[in-house]
Amino acid sequence: MYRVESEVTFSEFLQRNRWHVLMLLLCIAVTYRNVVPGMVSDWDNDPNYSHGFLVPLISTYFVWQSWAQIRNIKVRPSLFGLLVVVGSLALLILGYVGTEYYTMRSSLVFLLAGVILFWCGWAILRALALPVGFLLFMVPLPYIVYDAVAFPLKLMVAKFSVFSLKMLGVVVWRDGNIIRFPQTVLEVADACSGLRSLMSLLALAVAYAFISQTSNLKRTVLVLSAIPIAIFTNMVRVIVTGILAQYYGAAAAEGFFHEFAGFVVFAVAMVLLFLFGMLLHRWGKS
């Protein structure tokens, strides 16, 4: 049994029970040996979740950044954490039985929270809430949820893009998420809906918000700003693609340009997010 003495700090607890912690991590690795590799494979093969590789690194950075404060918090175990652990394992089993990957993968994050609560208590869980909660960004959403959000976004992007193209004098009309020109047809696909960049941008916005902002209000505003920024930059992408397709043919808007435009759009979105964060940081200062 691990040792918890009265008024022991978190760093002292880890030092005295390091072998128990290592054994626990090994048990978790064995339990999720068929879950985590599939999630990593999604990061590698699905551009919507390529940011998953960065999430554990950013979460580790959050711990390192606050370690001077966290290490001195007193350990006060809570039995409520045992309920969270049992509930997390139940989610894992239910997800396995129903072949529901999101449930299985997200149960890992809840399990970590439950273990921290059971072994170390509420104070330490609150201190680690950001790095532990941030790990949820590495779990790919169920495709039924993804499609439910992506389709309305595609329609909105197509609608406003066509309106802007008409204002610029381009002959164009819309059929759902299909944009028709006299000589070619373009489809506003998932990559152009803004959802792909939004998911990565939201994860980065949360990290940037907690690094750059000091108040919860500013952090919330900065995180929420990722939504219109992602949608706006992808609208610009569709408009530019439409102009190229109109005057230079569909080939000019496909292939290398289409892939390159995706990188440029995300880079521009990051710059806008960074600039908005700088403005928020300076706003309110005397």
Banded pLDDT at 133 (limits 50, 70, 90): very high
Are 242 and 191 contained in the same domain?
yes
Q: Residue range 193-200: average pLDDT?
A: 72
Question: In sequence order, what are the beta bridge partners of 175?
Answer: 178
Q: Which residue has the higher pLDDT, 193 or 74?
A: 74
In the listed set 123, 140, 157, which residue is the last one of a domain according to the structure? Answer: 140
Cα–Cα dist 245/239, whole Å: 10
In angstroms, the CA 216 to CA 266 distance is 26
pLDDT at 286: 44
Number of domains observed in the structure of the chain: 2
Q: Are 70 and 64 in contact (CB under 8 A)?
A: no
Provide DSSP, 111-145: HHHHHHHHHH-HHHHHHTHHHHHHGGGGSPPPHHH
- 185 forms beta bridges with 180
The pLDDT, as a whole number, for residue 63 is: 95
Q: Is residue 190 part of a domain?
A: yes
Q: The domain containing residue 206 runs over which residues?
A: 144-282
Q: If pLDDT is split at 50, 70 and 90, which confidence band does 259 have?
A: low
Answer whether 234's CB lies under 8 Å from 273's CB.
Answer: no
Q: Which of 21-35, 150-164, 268-282 has the lowest mean pLDDT?
A: 150-164
- The mean pLDDT of 255-265, rounded to a whole number, is 68
In this prediction, residues 93-117 reach a mean pLDDT of: 95
pLDDT of residue 239: 84
On whether residue 129 sits in a domain, the answer given is: yes
- Which tokens go with 242? 């439409």
Q: Of 88, 109, 140, which marks where a domain is finished?
A: 140
Size of the chain, expressed as the number of residues it contains: 286
Assess if residue 276 is contained within a domain.
Answer: yes
Q: What number is the average pLDDT over the span 2-6?
A: 51
163 and 60: one domain?
Answer: no
Q: Are residues 33 and 57 in the same domain?
A: yes
Mean pLDDT of the chain: 86
pLDDT greater than 90 at residue 50:
no
**% of the chain beyond a pLDDT of 90:** 53
Q: What is the pTM of this model?
A: 0.82
Task: Please tell me what DSSP assigns to residue 17.
Answer: T
- Among 140, 157, 179, where does a domain finish? 140
CA distances from 70 to 112, 125, 276 (A): 16, 10, 30
Whether residues 136 and 160 fall in one domain: no
- pLDDT tops 80 at residue 100: yes
The verdict on residue 4 lying in a domain is: no
pLDDT (tens digit per residue) in 9-19: 999 999 999 99
- Alpha carbons 245 and 184: distance in angstroms, whole number: 7
pLDDT, position 266? 84
In this structure, are 248 and 152 located in the same domain?
yes
The answer to the question of residue 1 being in a domain is no
* 187 lies in the same domain as 272: yes
Task: Return the closest-CA partner of residue 158 out of 183, 181, 176.
Answer: 176
Mean pLDDT across 22-31:
95
CA distance linking residue 269 with residue 274, whole number of Å: 9
Cβ proximity of 113 and 143 under 8 Å: no
Please state the rounded mean pLDDT for residues 229-234.
88
Give the three-class secondary structure for 178.
strand
pLDDT for the residue 47: 78
State residue 250's pLDDT score. 63
Quick one: average pLDDT of 117-122?
A: 96
Same domain, 116 and 151: no
Residues 230 and 264 in one domain: yes
Query: For residue 23, is it within any domain?
Result: yes
Report for 21-35, 240-254, 271-285: range of highest mean pLDDT: 21-35
Residues 265 and 252 in one domain: yes
CA 17 – CA 242 distance, rounded (Å):
61
Distance CA 39, CA 106 (A): 10
Q: What is the pLDDT of residue 1?
A: 46
Rounded CA gap, 153 and 144, in Å? 15
Q: Give CA–CA dist 25/29, Å, rounded.
A: 6
- Are 227 and 177 in a shared domain? yes
Clarify whether residues 117 and 247 are in a common domain.
Answer: no
- Are residues 89 and 177 both part of a single domain? no
Q: Is residue 2 part of a domain?
A: no
Partner residues linked to 74 by β-bridges: 9
pLDDT at residue 22 is higher than 90:
yes
- If you average pLDDT over residues 20-39, what whole number do you get? 95
Where helices occur in the chain by DSSP H, the ranges are 10-16, 18-31, 36-45, 55-65, 67-70, 80-98, 101-120, 122-127, 129-134, 143-167, 190-193, 195-212, 216-248, 256-282
